[in-house]
Structure 1
Amino acid sequence: MFFLHFTPIASTVFIDKKISQEIQKIFDIRSQAILDKDIKTLESLYDVSRKYGAWAYEHELKKMKYLHGWSDKQGIKFTNIISKTMVKWVKEKGEKFTVNLTVCTEYKYVYEDDTKKVNSFRIGTYHSLDLKEYDDKWIIMREWYTDPFADSMHLDQIKTEKIKEYIISQNSRDLSNIGERRKSALEYADRYCGAAGDKEFIYNKKYKNYNPNGGDCANFASQILYEGGKFRKTYSWNYDKGGSKAWVNAHAFKGYMVYSGRASVVAYGTYEKVYKAAYKLMPGDFVAYEKKGEVTHISVVTGADSKGYTLVNSHNTDRYRVPWDLGWSDKGIKFWLIHVHF
């Protein structure tokens, strides 16, 4: 998580059309700068003379470098990045404004050897930022959001050339013949993918949102298997006005699914050890991401791209049909690839 401490002293809360338009403009410029690796334009969006503005810019610069490093590993080229902003509220404090907003960013890409097939995925993020107008230009003084790439900024540690050759050599996968329970799980995962949604940014209101309590990823995975996949609740894995540990905790969820016999391990280890096995995953299976011996995140398989590369949905930073390792593929992360027994 990318976090800058800030306690706003608020006055009036409102939504301003002009500020909303300026924010959309900033995100449009930023998306294009990241796509073009335009460091100068990226820096111009921030007040780098202030500590928080400089931190926000430096983090975004790291993210830009990571995205392009990942694309080199993958053998793809990003063709477009489109950010859709939705301002929730604005607070005015003197000459600056604190803004709370949701952003859905769509990334489009093609493989180097097949530029006609355009793939895409969406990531939803929740932002708080401070803006100020300088000489008729709005710039960012501070920004906080849960960054989907914060856990993987060292992709250069991975030997990417052989991986790239393998990925490019693969073919598309036909996933249309999956069983009805897997199809139902997939439909649920797509419907409630939150800020990564195409039209509606929704979670299922029947369930508590655990993002403020450390993360909603396991809760979402449990919902997918229960509501969509029709798995029955058990004493250990259940939800009644709140979730059991195995329902809401990522490490406990992985352990329960495997040791109960409801799922089995396809592969475990670093990215270099498991990436080939990931092609065996089907919609409704899941990936558990381990950091320093603890599973910290769960994502559910929802499809494959034009080269058969596995795609996932998740909560926390909300994901829709995102390549399964994006944001997690450095040597500090280990992966559990889990096949669910529907």
Structure 2
Amino acid sequence: MIFLYYFSHPTNTKFLVDASDKEKIANEVTELFQIRNKAILMQDLEAIDYIYDKNTKYGTWAYNHEIKKMKYLINWSEKQGVKFVDIVPMVVIRSIKGSNNYYSVNLICSTEYKYVYENEELGDGNKVNMFRIGTAHSVKLANKDGIWQITKEWYTDPFADSLNLENIKADSIKKYILSQPYRDFSNLSKRRSSAVAYADKYCGIASDEEFGFKYNKKYGDYNPLGGDCANFASQILFEGGKFKKTSTWNFDGGGGSKAWLNANAFKDFMINNGRASLIARGTYEKVYKAAYKLKPGDFVAYEKNGKVVHISTVTGADSKGYSLVNCHNTDRYRVPWDLGWSNRKIKFWLVHVHY
């Protein structure tokens, strides 16, 4: 069976694009994403130069942004004492418009990052760590002399809050991280384990493919209204952790309360009502050692300009015991807790939840 797709032609007439053309463009987009990821692995900033149309304003912007992101990831890996060994994108096309040499593509991408620590053997499979980040993209492509180029790209960048980061003072931090042992969470309580299972299943584009890259429809998606991170953290504690709703912390058919949906209000409610307690608060340099006290089911709150703007739930730790988190907004699955948030102006709240 041939599946046909109807798209708008520049002359406002209709034409048919068959499934093979959609597959062709999907392959081209995936290859562009692979080129970007390989450039990070090779730490080669020049490798992505030719895949952007820098004769256009938006193509130049997209290129410059990607360079800043690459520099940040390289800087973070040096601070962490890790080497990325593989970065694999899974691209799912949602829609395509255009014809011939010009296309506009809406897609989601679940990118899997694998890394090892400098003092651990790559050959030991248990030492290869993995996390995933899910993003939604709107990309405009043009074929110039047989080469597909990005002329415009929009997506919510998971690293945006750290792209202006000065080089992290890495030596003492790296030495400490590399000295840490693996942490065993095999004896977690049933409620904590259930909370983690929920966080893994419903972390959206970053979740396992079998879950369809979707949020729990019962709670909606508040990203268009300012963010879904607290909504997701509340779900994790209610659906997974079996915490009871209250008049202050509640979600029903009409939506959620402020403490359920707002990151700062969620943090205040959990601490002020005795459901959680503060482990540490401060800049990364001040709290990174205390972060090893976090357990799966705890949470991290991220403060900018005196107000908490994001919540992530701890879901595990890597081979050096470094805490990993899940969240919504830019969807994350088992991501190092500070990745994308290590700007010096950001303060972290490390919060222990009382299950």
TM-score range for the pair, normalised by the shorter chain length? over 0.9
* Secondary structure in 2 matching 1:195: helix
Higher relative contact order (Cα pairs below 8 Å, separated by 6+ residues)? 1
* Secondary structure in 2 matching 1:24: helix
Deviates more, 1:323-332 or 1:94-103: 94-103
CA contact (8 A) 2:75 2:168 kept: no
**What's the offset of the Cα at 1:154?**
4.1
Correspondences of 1:64-83 after superposition (within 5 Å): 64-83=70-89
Q: 2:226 aligns with which of 214, 221, 227?
A: 214
Q: 2:51 aligns with which of 41, 45, 51?
A: 45
Deviates more, 1:36-45 or 1:228-237: 36-45
Q: 2:321 aligns with which of 289, 302, 308?
A: 308
Correspondences of 1:1-342 after superposition (within 5 Å): 16-92=22-98, 95-116=101-122, 117-199=127-209, 200-241=212-253, 242-342=255-355
Larger Rg: 2
Identity of aligned residues (%): 61
Query: What amino acid sits opposite 1:152 in the alignment?
Result: S
Query: What amino acid sits opposite 1:315 in the alignment?
Result: H
**What's the offset of the Cα at 1:11?**
7.4
Question: Runs of 5+ in structure 2 lacking a partner?
Answer: 1-8
Q: What is the match of residue 5 of structure 2?
A: none
| Cα distance in 2, alignment partners of residues 304 and 11 from structure 1 | 54
* Secondary structure in 1 matching 2:151: strand
Check 1:29–1:252 CA distance in 2 against 1; reply closer, same or farther (3 A cut).
same
Q: What is the match of residue 3 of structure 1?
A: none
Q: TM-score, normalized by length of structure 1?
A: 0.95
CA contact (8 A) 1:88 1:101 kept: yes
| Cα distance in 1, alignment partners of residues 13 and 201 from structure 2 | 36
* Secondary structure in 2 matching 1:171: coil
Question: Runs of 5+ in structure 1 lacking a partner?
Answer: 1-7
Q: Deviations over 1:64-116 (max 9, x none)?
A: 00001000000111111111100000112785211100000011100000033
CA contact (8 A) 1:172 1:308 kept: yes
| Cα distance in 2, alignment partners of residues 123 and 11 from structure 1 | 38
Aligned residue pairs, count: 335
| Cα distance in 1, alignment partners of residues 81 and 170 from structure 2 | 9
Q: TM-score, normalized by length of structure 2?
A: 0.91
Q: What is the match of residue 4 of structure 1?
A: none
Check 1:157–1:29 CA distance in 2 against 1; reply closer, same or farther (3 A cut).
closer
* Secondary structure in 1 matching 2:162: coil
